[in-house]
Copies of this chain bind each other. A is one copy, B any other.
Amino acid sequence: MPLIQVDMFEGRTADIKREFVEGITRETCRLLKCEPASVQVILRDVKKSDWATAGVLWSEKK
Interface residues of A (CB under 8 A from B): 1-9, 12, 14, 16-28, 30-32, 36-37, 39-46, 49-60
Contacts and interface: CB of A to CB of B under 8 A. Distances in A.
Given A5-B7, A44-B50, 9 more contacts: A1-B8, A2-B6, A3-B8, A5-B6, A17-B49, A27-B27, A36-B54, A42-B46, A42-B50
Contacts of A4: 4-6
Say how many copies of this protein the assembly contains. 6
Nearest to A19: B31
A52 B18 CA distance: 9
Nearest to A4: B6
Nearest to A2: B8
